[in-house]
Structure 1
C-alpha cells in the first residue's frame, strides 16, 4: 500500500516542478553541464528511514552546505571558546559574500558567511597521516552511509573564480584571525566546497543533526551534542544569510543552502529535509528548494515552535488479536479458528504526541501492512497532542484501506482521531476489548460463518446445557422466567446474593470489577448462549462482580427459589443440571488458562 507521505511528496514535487525562476550557478568544470530540470526531495527520519522523490541519487557540489559541518569539526577539535575567538555567532544580515568583519577585531559575524568559513577552514589541520581535506571528507562521510569524495575539477574551477575569497582571506590574515597561510585556508575551504553529495546523502546529514549528532543509519556519533546545539543555533539565525529572518518566521527550521543547488533543513529530534534543484534566486538559494521547504513546513507543521518536543515513535506496541484476544467467551471451535485467523487483525497502541515524527512512524507502519491484514485497531487512549497533518494523513490512509476492503478501527473515547478522519459509523470503541471483539466477530462471519456468534440462542441450545438430553434442557427452560435489560443497565452488582443462573438469549453482558485503587476494570463480555450468576455461590454466596447490559439484552433466569424446589422435587434433573454447569465452568477455565499462557509466552 502506498504511503500517504510518499504520495504527498510526489504531489509537492509535481507542483513545485512548475517553477521556472532562477539560474544555475555559473562556475563549473569544463565539460560539466548543469540540468536545470534536476529536482529531488528527500525526507529522512531520526530512525533512518528515507522518503525519496525525483533526482535524489545524482551528485552535486556541497558548496556552502559544507560550512556547518566544518564548523562542527572545528568545534569538536578546539572547543567553543577557541572557535568563538575567531568567529562570532551573530547574524550578519548580509549576503554570504559580504565582508561583515567586526570593526576592531576583524572577527567575522558567523561561520555561515564566506569570511567565517575561511576562518573555520584555517583551524582544520592535517593529523594522523591524513591531510586536512581527507579529514574533512571522512568527517562529512560520518554523517552519511557511504564514503564521500572531493572533486578536483570543481576545486580548480572555483580556484579560477575566487578573487573575492582571496581578498577576504588576506584581509582576515591581517587581523591575525587565520591559523594558517591565507592561501592554505582558501584551498581547504574551496576543496570542502567541492565535496560531492546526493540529495539522499544530504537528507541523512540533516537527519544526523536532528538526531543529536548520531547517524540514524549507521549509529555512528558524527558530532557531539554540545557542538550540534551550536551548529543548529547558528544555522537558525544565519544559515539563510540575508533571508534568515523571514526563513525563521515562516519555515522555522535551522537550514543551509548552497549554490550547487542543495538545501538542507533540520527539524531537531524528528527529521532532516534535503532538496536538490540547481536554479538559484538572488540570495544564492535554490528556488525550488526554498519553495519545497516552505510548503512542507506549512503543510506538515514542521516549524520548531509546533514540533518542539523530541521526536520518537508514537507506537507503544503492536500485536495481533490472536496474541491479545477479546474478553468474549467463545466456543472451543471458534477460539481455535480465531487463533489461526488472529494475524488478520492487528492492534497498534499509540502514545505521546502525533506531531511529525509520531505521525510518520504510525503512517509508515500502517503503509507496510501484510496483504492478509483485514482489520487495524488504533488504540489512541494514550495520545496527547494531535497535529493537523496527522488527521490529514490518517484520513488518506483510511480511504486506501477501505478501497482494499480493509477496515480501520479506533479505540478513542476522547475522540482525538476518529471524528477528524471521518471514521465510519461503528468503527469507534471505548475499550480495546470491544474493538477486538468486533474484529473477531467479523473474521468469524467472513471465514467461518457457521462458527460466528449467533444473535439469539435458545436456552435448550446453550453450550452449558449441551450435554443434557433434549428433554431435560427443555424442561429446565420451562422453569425459567424471562427478563429484559436496556443498554448500560446493571443486571447484577457487587455484594448481591446468589439469586439464580442467568442464560443469555440475545445481546451481551459486560463484567467489571474494581482494582486496588477503586478503578473499574473490564474482565470480559458474555454473548448469547452463555451463562452468569453462578459465581455468587463461590464466596459467602455474594456477587463480587458487576454485570451490565451491552445494548438490549434478553435473559432467562433459573431463580434460586426454583433451583431449591427442583432439588427437592426432581433431584435427578437438578444433579444433571449442576454437572452440566460445572463441566462448562471447567471448560472456560481451561480456555482462559491457555489464553493466559499464550500471552505470557508472547510477552517474554
Structure 2
C-alpha cells in the first residue's frame, strides 16, 4: 500500500515546484551555475524512516548548515562555559555575514553567524592522530550515517573569493577570540562549508538531533544530550539569521539554512526535515525550502507549540487474531477456517499521543502490511490525544486500504475518532471493545473464506456441535423432548444464582454471557450463536447458574429442561449417559477456549 505521507509530500512538491522566485547564490563562483530547478524534500522520523520526494540524492555543499554541528563538537570537547567565553548565544538580528561582535570584547553574538562559526571552528582541536578538520568531517559523517566528502572545486572557489570571512577571522584574532594563526582556521572553515551532502543526509542529521544526539539507524551517540539541547536552542533563536522571528512564528522548529539551497529543521523527539532548492530569498534562505517548511508545519502540526510531546512510535503491538480470538464458540469447520485465515486480520495496538509522529508510525505500519492482510483493527484504547493531522492521515490510510480491497476497523471506546472520521465522510467500522471488533473480523473471514454453512442463521439442536458425538436417531430423540422458547433483544434468559434449568440449544440469534466484575460492573465473557449451548455449567456441585445470559437481538432456543433430563435418565439410561459424555466433551472444548482468551481479556 502506498504511504499517505509520501502521497502528501508528492502533492506539496508538485505544488511548490512552480515557485520561480529567488536566485541561486553567486558570490561563490563555483556555485553560480547550479540548476535552479533542483528540488528535493526529505522527512526523517526519530526512528530513522526517511520519506523522500524529488531530487533528494542530488549533492550540494553544506555551507552554513555545517555551523550547528561544528558548534556541537566544540561544546562536547570543551563544555558550555569554555565555549560561552568565546561565543555568545544571543540573536544578532543581522545577516549571516555581518560582523556582529560585542563592543570591547569582540565576542560574536552566536555560533550561527559567520563570525561565531569561525570561532567555533577554532575551538575544535586535533585529537588521537586526527586533524581538526578530520574530526569535523567525521562528526558530519556520523550525523549523516555515511562517509561524506569535500568538493575541492567549491573549496578552492571559497578560498579565492571569501575575503569577508578572511577579514572576520583576523578581526577575531585581534580581539583574542581566535587565539592562534587564523589562516589554517579559515581553511578548515571553508572546507567544512564545502562538504557535500544531499537532502537525505540532512534529514538524517536533523533526525539525529531530534533523537537526542543518537543516530536513529546506527544507534551511535553522535553528540551528548546537553550539547544537543544547547545547539537546538541556538538554532531556534539564531539559525535563520534576520528572518529568525518570522521563522519561529510560522514554522516553529529549530532550523539552519545554507546558501547552496539547503534547509534543515528539527522537531525534537519527532522528525527531521530537509529541503534542497537553490534559489534564495533576500535573507539567504531557500525560497522553496521556506515554503515547504511553512506548509508542513501547518498541515502536519509540526510547530513546537502544537507538537511538544515525544514522537516515539505509538505502536505497542501488532498481531493477528489467532492470538486474540473472540469469545464466540465456533463450529469445528469455522474454527478450522479461522485458524487457517486468521493471519489475514492484523490488530495494531496504539498508545500515547497520536500527533504527527505517532500517526506516522501507524500509517507506516499499515503501508508495510503483507498483501494477504484483508482487515486491520486499530486499537485506540490506550491512546490519549488524537490530533487533527492524525485524523486526516487515518482517513487517507483508510481510503488506500479500501482501494486495495481491504478494510479498517477501530476499537474506539469514546467514539471520538469515529465521529471525526464520519465528519470527513468515512463510515469506519467501530467497536467499544476489542472482543467485539475481533468477532466482527472473524465473521468477515468466515463469510469470505467459508461456505454458507459456516455461519448459518439457524441450526436445529440435532445438528448442533454439542450433540455431534451421538447417532442421528439419538440426537433426534433428544430434540423431540425439548421446549421451544423465544426472547426479544435484551431479555434476560438466565440470571446468576438461578438453579439449574436445563440445557439450552440456540436455534437462531445470539446470546451474551456476563458476570459481576471486581468493581461491580458487568464483565462480558462470551457471545454464542446458532448451534451453541448454554446452561449445562449449572449442573455443577451447587447446581446454580454462574453467569447472566441475555438475548442479543431476537433469539430462539430449544431447552432440554431439568425435568426432561431426569425423565431421560429413568427411561433410557444409555442415551442419558451418551448425552452427558457429549456435553462433557463440548464443555472441555469450551473451557480450553476460555483459558486461551483469559490472558487476552486482561487488557480489555
TM-score range, shorter chain: over 0.9
The answer to whether the 8 A contact 2:418-2:428 is kept is no
Structure 2 counterpart of 1:191:
191
| Partner residue, 2:3 | 3
8 Å Cα contact 1:27/1:158 also seen in 2: no
Partner of 2:492: 490
Q: Distance in 2 between matches of 1:31 and 1:574?
A: 96
Once residues 313 and 389 of structure 1 are traced to their aligned partners in structure 2, the CA distance between those partners, rounded to angstroms, is 16
> In the TM superposition, what is the alpha-carbon distance from 1:95 to its structure 2 partner?
1.1
Shift of 1:539: 4.2
Q: Distance in 2 between matches of 1:215 and 1:363?
A: 23
1:286-331 CA deviation, whole Å, 9 max, x = no partner?
A: 0000000000000000011111111111111111112222221112
Residue 476 of structure 1 corresponds to 478
Aligned to 1:354: 354
**Cα distance change of structure 1 residues 553 and 259 upon mapping to structure 2, 3 Å threshold:** same
* Structure 1 outlier segments of 4+, above 6 Å: 596-599
- In structure 2, the partner of 1:371 is 371
Gaps of 5+ in 2: none
Shift of 1:283: 0.3
Tell me, in whole angstroms, the C-alpha distance in 2 between the residues paired with 1:424 and 1:210: 34
> Alignment partner of 2:282: what SS?
coil
Cα root mean square deviation, aligned: 2.1
| Bigger mean CA offset, 497-506 vs 543-552 | 543-552
- The Cα of 1:255 is off from its aligned counterpart by 0.5
Residue aligning to 2:511: 509
Cα deviation digits, residues 544-563 of structure 1 (max 9, x gap): 22323223322222232343
User: What does residue 103 of structure 2 align with?
Assistant: 103
Partner of 1:296: 296
Q: Distance in 2 between matches of 1:26 and 1:536?
A: 89
Matched residue SS, 1:419: helix
CA offsets per residue over residues 567-589 of structure 1, 9 Å max, x none? 44554544443333223223434
2:585 corresponds to which of 564, 583, 595: 583
Which residue of the partner structure matches residue 248 of structure 2? 248
Work out the CA distance in 2 between the residues paired with 1:107 and 1:426.
61
- Once residues 22 and 427 of structure 2 are traced to their aligned partners in structure 1, the CA distance between those partners, rounded to angstroms, is 51
Q: CA 1:196–1:425 in 2, change beyond 3 Å: closer, same or farther?
A: closer
> Would the aligned equivalents of 2:511 and 2:551 in 1 still touch at CA under 8 Å?
yes
Matches of 1:194 and 1:275 in 2, distance apart? 18
Distance 1:426 1:198 in 2: 41
Greater CA deviation, 482-491 or 66-75? 482-491
What does residue 553 of structure 2 align with?
551
How far apart, in 1, do the equivalents of 2:598 and 2:503 lie? 29
The aligned counterpart of 2:94 is: 94
Check whether the contact 2:331–2:454 (CA below 8 A) recurs between aligned residues.
Answer: no
Q: Does 2:55 match 1:51? A: no
Any conservation in 2 of the 1:27–1:157 contact (CA below 8 Å)? no
Flag the 1:489–1:143 CA change in 2: closer, same or farther, 3 A.
farther
Q: 1:602 maps to which residue?
A: none
TM-score (norm 1): 0.94
Query: Could you say which residue in structure 1 is the equivalent of 2:431?
Result: 429
Q: 1:157 to 1:246 in 2, by over 3 A?
A: same
Q: After superposing the two structures, state which structure 1 stretch, 148-157 or 508-517, moved more.
A: 508-517
The 1:408–1:161 alpha-carbon spacing in structure 2 relative to 1, beyond 3 Å, is same
Q: Which runs of 5+ in 1 are unaligned?
A: 600-604
Rounded to whole Å, the distance in 2 between the matches of 1:253 and 1:21 is 23
Matched residue, 1:529: 531
* SS in structure 1 of the partner of residue 582 of structure 2: helix
Summarize the alignment of residues 141-540 of structure 1 with structure 2, pairs less than 5 Å apart: 141-422=141-422, 427-518=429-520, 520-540=522-542
> Are the counterparts in 1 of residues 421 and 428 from structure 2 also a CA contact under 8 Å?
no
Q: Provide closer, same or farther for how the CA distance between residues 259 and 179 of structure 1 changes in structure 2, counting only shifts above 3 A.
A: same
Output the CA distance in 1 between the equivalents of 2:500 and 2:434: 30
Q: Give the C-alpha shift of residue 473 in structure 1.
A: 3.2
Does the 8 Å contact 2:513/2:525 carry over to 1? yes
Give the conservation status (yes or no) of the 8 Å contact 2:348–2:376: yes
Contact 1:334 1:451 in 2 (8 A): no
Report the CA distance between 1:416 and its aligned residue.
Answer: 3.5
SS of the residue aligned with 1:160?
helix
Rounded to whole Å, the distance in 2 between the matches of 1:177 and 1:514 is 76
Residue 179 to residue 524, structure 1, CA distance change in 2 (3 Å): farther
Contact kept? 1:341, 1:443, Cα under 8 Å: yes
3-state DSSP of counterpart to 2:144:
coil
List per-residue Cα deviations over 1:218-269 (Å, max 9, x = no partner). Answer: 1111100000000000001111111111111111110010001100000100
Secondary structure of the 2:236 match is: helix
Deviation of 1:533 (Å): 0.9
Offset at 1:442? 1.7
Listed as ranges, the matches of 1:66-77 within 5 Å are: 66-77=66-77
Matches of 1:111 and 1:32, distance apart in 2:
26
SS in 1 for 2:545: coil
CA contact (8 A) 2:421 2:427 kept: no
Count of matched residue positions in the alignment of Structure 1 and Structure 2? 598
Distance 1:37 1:31, change over 3 A: closer
Match of 2:125 in 1: 125
Cα distance in 2 for partners of 1:194, 1:26 equals 15
Q: For residues 125 and 39 of structure 1, do their structure 2 counterparts lie closer, same or farther at Cα, with a shift above 3 Å needed?
A: same
1:29 offset after TM fit, Å? 5.2
Q: Say whether the 8 Å CA contact 1:444–1:451 is kept in structure 2.
A: no
Structure 1 match to 2:41: 41
Range with bigger deviation, 484-493 or 407-416: 484-493
Contact kept in structure 1, 2:325 and 2:597, CA below 8 Å? no
Q: Could you list the per-position Cα deviations for residues 518-549 of structure 1 after superposition, in whole angstroms to 9, with x for gaps in the alignment?
A: 55443322111100011122241222223232
- Does structure 2 conserve the Cα–Cα contact (< 8 Å) formed by 1:333 and 1:451? no
**How high is the TM-score relative to the length of structure 2?**
0.94
In the superposition, relative to structure 1, how do residues 571 and 401 fare at CA in structure 2: closer, same or farther (>3 Å)?
A: same
